[in-house]
Chains A and B, each alone.
Chain A
Amino acid sequence: MNNKDLAKKLKQCQTGQPAAQWVARNREILLSQVRAQQGSRLDLFSKDGASFTWEAAKMFFPGKIVYRVSAVLALIFVLILGSSVTTAWADRSLPGDILYSVKITTEKVQISLTPDKEAKTKLKVEFAGKRIQEAKQISQKNDQSVEQKAANIKNSLENYKGSIKEVDSDLSDMAQQKDDPKKTVEVASMVTNQVDGFSQTLKDSQEDLKSVVGQQDVFKEAVDVSDQVADKAVNIIVEKHQSGEVVLPTPEIQNIVNQKIDSVKDNVNSINQKIGEMSVPEKSDVKAGDTKAVTDNNNLNQVETKTAEVQKGLAEAEKLLQQGDPIASLEKVQEVKQINKEVEAVVDGAATKTGDAAAQNTATGASAQQPVINTNTNTNQNSVNINTNSAVINVNQSK
């Protein structure tokens, strides 16, 4: 054994542990002595209290006075007013406002001072929701330039992603612990409900926010990370149920998984809607010499195949759920989601190129090229062909 291995082993030390009973009993004894001796709590507005808060500020911010003042304010808000009350003015501030740093500091202090892990996670979810509301509010502000708004929205969404990733990490820790599975399931339920809501809000607000920020990546990432965390929460609930750690009624489990299946169906419908919103003329020809069009046509064929896979996968997921295998059903839903993302990427690409082409044509004075969907009827095939170059979409429907 070398020193490195030995150091690693020592880090996982299992020896010298106290008896659990003694730990609990001793805790009660100590806390009763502490409470008896406690007397009155420190009055933060007394002389002692003032010097305490200043010392506290120095502990965290040995630098400039302005930061010390904001830290003192944040600490006073949390320590005196408690976690459920923050001043209205700090709470209403948005990125770019002077008091925004007080708001964020207050939130971080609240989380750090919350001893209970589950309560910490709930706070993180609550604060993540605030970041999305901030992004929406910024998009509606009239007193900032477009560049400022874009930077502030991006800031909010990056902070949102950070908060949600922390929730993800908390969920992973909770899933591994066996102490209190009921509490874990409670928290996971809260997370999946709230974060699904955030994801939906982001999707609903995407157009407004896009018009300011002008790029989709930051939204897609925020939506993706939300979906990931909501899915993880659902997996935890179902696994805890399947392992017998927590007993949930079968209809409740089915309902949870069905919600996931329905959200994929909603996504499929919105993709179909995007396709449908593009205008629908007659069939256009893809000429063999036109390599771009041929490539695009191949992409379109892939989309057609994948769309069929998605539909098939959803049907399988529903069947597995009916057969009493929610875990396999969820796995199928994950697979299908991934395929659906690929379809969405191609459709979004077509919509973007159409927009770019229209903008270019407008700039050069040429007439705008409408995205085209050609509908053919034949007896054998269902196909969706999307020409991403000229945004020509050929839909062949079987009869």
Chain B
Amino acid sequence: MSKLSQKLLLLKLKTKDPEAYGHFYDLYVTKIYRFIFFKVSSHEEAEDLTAETFLKIWEYLFENKKVDNLNAFTYQVARNIVIDFYRKKAQQQLIKDPEEVLEKIVDPTPPIDKRLELTADWEEMESCLRQLKDEYREVIILKYIDQLSISEIAKVLNKSNGNVRVLAHRALNTLRELANKKEIKQDE
């Protein structure tokens, strides 16, 4: 979506137009779902947290709070909701460091309608993505899958542009090594 389209959509959302909100949902639901999916352990959790994200965004706009960049804002809300989720989970399950849990993601099975669509190639890619540490996985999804700009990613992750560039470079290298190792193993 171009910057102009983003701005226009944001403007329309600020007038509290349900149709515009529906359009916003259509544009972002898959991206936000995927972003959250790689942080949680099941599709059910991803669904709940995605729904919560969209509701939170609506409430934020409804209260006329300031939003500068729709892309960055949307992902920020999603990210914060996942962090809150793990904090609550940690409190409930007495896990010491909720951030640790983010590192230990169990491969969830995809919904049945998507299972058959995934090629073996993409199942491996998903498996490699899950082996990355959360910071790397986040930046890979934001930059290479969802095509956010460096400055937008910096806003989402609360880092500088320079940090994000270095992070993206390291993340891609790590993913590439994992992917190549998998290829070698299969060839053997």
Contact = CB atoms under 8 A, between A and B. Distances in A.
Contacts of B144: 6-7, 10-11
B58 A14 contact: no
Interface of B: 4-5, 7-8, 10-12, 14-23, 25-26, 29-30, 33-34, 37-38, 43, 46-47, 50-51, 54-55, 58, 62, 64, 110-111, 113-114, 117-119, 122-123, 125-126, 129, 140, 144-145, 147, 172-173, 175-176, 179-180, 183
Contact of A3 (B26, B43, B173): B173
A233 to B, nearest CB: 25
B8 A23 contact: no
Contact of A60 (B7, B22, B54, B145): B7
A33 interface: yes
Interface residues of A, number: 43
Given A19-B111, A34-B18, 9 more contacts: A6-B175, A13-B122, A13-B125, A17-B114, A17-B117, A18-B37, A41-B16, A60-B4, A115-B22
Interface in A25-58: 26-27, 29-31, 33-35, 37-39, 41-42, 48, 52, 56
B176 A3 contact: yes
A77 to B, nearest CB: 14
Nearest to A36: B18
Contacts of B50: 18, 26
A268 interface: no
B8 A113 contact: yes
B126 A115 contact: no
B100 to A, nearest CB: 22
Contacts of A52: 14-15
Interface of A: 1-3, 6-7, 9-11, 13-23, 26-27, 29-31, 33-35, 37-39, 41-42, 48, 52, 56, 59-60, 75, 79, 109, 112-113, 115
A289 B181 CA distance: 78
A79 B47 CA distance: 33
Contacts of B179: 1, 6
A293 to B, nearest CB: 57
A74 B18 CA distance: 22
Given A30-B55, A112-B8, A1 B183 contact: yes
Contacts of A13: 34, 122, 125, 145
A11 B19 CA distance: 29
A35 B22 CA distance: 11
28 contacts: A1-B176, A1-B179, A6-B144, A11-B145, A11-B147, A14-B118, A15-B118, A15-B125, A16-B126, A17-B33, A17-B114, A18-B30, A18-B43, A21-B113, A22-B111, A26-B54, A29-B51, A30-B21, A30-B51, A34-B18, A34-B21, A37-B62, A41-B15, A79-B12, A113-B12, A113-B20, A115-B22, A115-B26
Contacts of B19: 115
Contacts of B43: 18-19
